[in-house]
C-alpha cells in the first residue's frame, strides 16, 4: 500500500489532533507539537500511534530527540519523515 504525502499528512493531523484533544481544523502542517500542547509523554504516545497506523518502526529515543533522523519539529516534518520511512520499507 503506497501513500501520497497528502494522505500521510491528513492521517498525521488526525493522530496529533486526537492526542492534543483538538479539532482537526485546528492542526495544520505548520503546527509544532509544543504550540498545540503536546508534551514529551504526548510525543512518545503520538509516535506509538504513528507506528501502529503506518506499520513502521520509528527510531526515537526520548533522551536524545535531536539525534533522531525522525524530525518531530512540526506536523509537516513528521509527515515527511513517515513518507521517508515508508519509501524505505520493503514492498
The contact set with another protein (CB under 8 A) reads 40-41, 44, 47-48, 57, 60-64, 67
How far apart are CB 15 and another protein at their closest, in Å?
Answer: 17
Instruction: Identify which of residues 28 and 40 has a Cβ nearer to another protein in the complex.
Output: 40
Instruction: Identify which of residues 29 and 51 has a Cβ nearer to another protein in the complex.
Output: 51
Instruction: Identify which of residues 24 and 44 has a Cβ nearer to another protein in the complex.
Output: 44
Listed in sequence order, the DSSP H helices in the chain are 5-20, 40-54, 75-88
Cell representation of residue 38:
503536546
Report the distance separating Cα 87 and Cα 6, nearest Å.
15
DSSP for residue 36:
T
Amino acid at each position: 500500500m503506497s501513500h501520497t504525502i497528502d494522505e500521510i499528512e491528513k492521517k498525521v493531523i488526525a493522530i496529533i489532533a486526537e492526542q492534543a484533544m483538538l479539532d482537526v481544523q485546528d492542526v495544520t502542517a505548520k503546527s509544532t507539537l509544543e504550540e498545540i500542547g503536546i508534551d514529551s509523554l504526548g510525543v512518545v504516545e503520538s509516535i506509538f500511534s504513528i507506528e501502529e497506523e503506518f506499520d513502521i518502526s520509528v527510531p526515537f529515543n526520548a533522551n536524545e530527540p535531536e539525534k533522531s533522523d525522525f524530525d518531530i519539529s512540526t506536523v509537516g516534518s513528521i509527515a515527511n519523515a513517515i513518507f521517508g520511512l515508508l519509501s524505505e520499507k520493503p514492498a
